[in-house]
Structure 1
Amino acid sequence: MNEHEKMLAGLPYHAYRDGLPEMRMACKIRLRQFNTCPPEDLKEQDRLIREIMGSVGEHIEIFPPFYCDYGKNIHIGDGFFASYNCTMVDCGPIIIGDNTMIAANVTITAAGHPIHPEPRTQGYEYGIETVIGSRVWIGANVVVNPGVHIGDDVVIGSGSVVTKDIPSGVVAAGNPCRVLREVTEEDKKYYFKKRPFPEGSYMG
């Protein structure tokens, strides 16, 4: 098993062997093209992001700059949106469902290093699958740690550090992130806190 195969299997691996540096460099080159693409050239932006990532759904939008390590370990569904300065550390798979929205300055990690300094200084690291469900809204400046699974229909409050799994259908926030309450039918009435949708403006 080479280092690339170890990385994809979630095993400890060395990041500077077996073609991994070349893979990261190829990704950096494509990212530079995407991040400097003319803002009006949406067709080229879409082409580049599909070249960078492993799989991409329909009707997606990512505001540059966007950063990742390999790109090919990222899989996003239909209707995905990411605002400025999104970083995905994809040494392990990052899997995101449909109609999920990510605010500015969010970091999603599927990678880490051993806690003990000896293996860490010998160059060992690991990739662990991180999964985010469908219809999730992640607020600004959130960090999602490696190995976390976030369910469907979840809101993650801004500034949160998500260190553990979050179940479906909840609002969660904090450092460390914790469940605050469930998402309810009552929430459908309001667009912000207790401000109701104007009559006739929302057909939900």
Structure 2
Amino acid sequence: MAQSSYDKMISGDWYNALTPELDELRMAARKAVFAHNQCPPEDRGGMVPELAALFMSVGEDCLIETPFHTAYGCNTVLGDGVFFNAGVAILDSARVTIGSRCMLGPRVQIYCADHHRDIAKRRAGIERALPVTLGDDVWIGGGAILMPGVTIGAGAIVGAGAVVTKDVAPMGRVVGSPARPI
């Protein structure tokens, strides 16, 4: 039996991102994100129910400021006490796991998609997705970018504006582009 585009996507195989199946999932995410971003602050709480229902799982006491964006949402796991500041974007074509008490600064971006190097395949929407994992108590500074496949160890700090292309050790600190330990 042939695997669906979604099955290929979450398994890390090369897949076509331009299919009706994935379009439907992205549309569901857009609707939930719209509901969250347009909800009056006094009615939103930590996040609107539509957004909470979209995620794979959500811990207790999470707060997502607006604006927020996610590509799918259904591949994202939030631990307890997670905080996203304004402008966080998660392109979760693979599993994104955010540990408990993680703090993401304004405009942090998490990317899972790894587009094909062959131009013709890239034009055809062929890509693969690599998971991104944040351990507990991680702090990601504003404007940082986490690239596909990275793991940020528990207690680590990623400096503002860093571009993380490699794993960060637990309790590690990285800055720069590409990010390097300090």
TM-score by length of 2: 0.95
What one-letter code is carried by the residue in structure 2 that aligns with 1:41? D
Name the % identity. Answer: 34
Q: Greater relative contact order: 1 or 2 (C-alpha under 8 angstroms, separation 6 or more)? A: 2
Q: Aligned partners of 1:177, 1:45: CA distance in 2, in Å?
A: 31
Contact 2:15 2:126 in 1 (8 A): yes
Q: Aligned partners of 2:48, 2:27: CA distance in 1, in Å?
A: 20
Extract unaligned runs of 5+ from structure 2.
none
2:168 matched to 1:166? Answer: yes
The residue that corresponds to 2:72 in the other structure is 70
Q: Aligned partners of 2:22, 2:124: CA distance in 1, in Å?
A: 17
TM superposition outliers: structure 1 runs of 4+ over 4 Å: none
The residue that corresponds to 2:147 in the other structure is 145
Report the number of matched residues.
Answer: 180
TM-score by length of 1: 0.85
2:32 matched to 1:39? Answer: no
Q: Aligned to 2:89, what secondary structure does the other structure show?
A: strand
Contact 1:37 1:44 in 2 (8 A): no
What one-letter code is carried by the residue in structure 2 that aligns with 1:61? L
2:47 matched to 1:49? Answer: no
In structure 2, relative to structure 1, the CA distance for the partners of 1:13 and 1:157 (3 Å cut) is same
What one-letter code is carried by the residue in structure 1 that aligns with 2:120? E
The residue that corresponds to 1:124 in the other structure is 126
Larger radius of gyration: 1
Contact 1:3 1:18 in 2 (8 A): no
State the superposition RMSD in angstroms.
Answer: 1.2
2:40 matched to 1:6? Answer: no
Extract unaligned runs of 5+ from structure 1.
181-204
What one-letter code is carried by the residue in structure 1 that aligns with 2:24? E
Q: Within 5 Å, which residues of 2 pair with 1:76-115?
A: 76-115=78-117
Query: Which deviates more from structure 2 when the two are superposed, residues 79-88 or residues 7-16?
Result: 7-16
Q: Aligned partners of 1:42, 1:118: CA distance in 2, in Å?
A: 44
Deviation at 1:123, TM superposition (A): 1.8
Q: Aligned to 1:176, what secondary structure does the other structure show?
A: coil
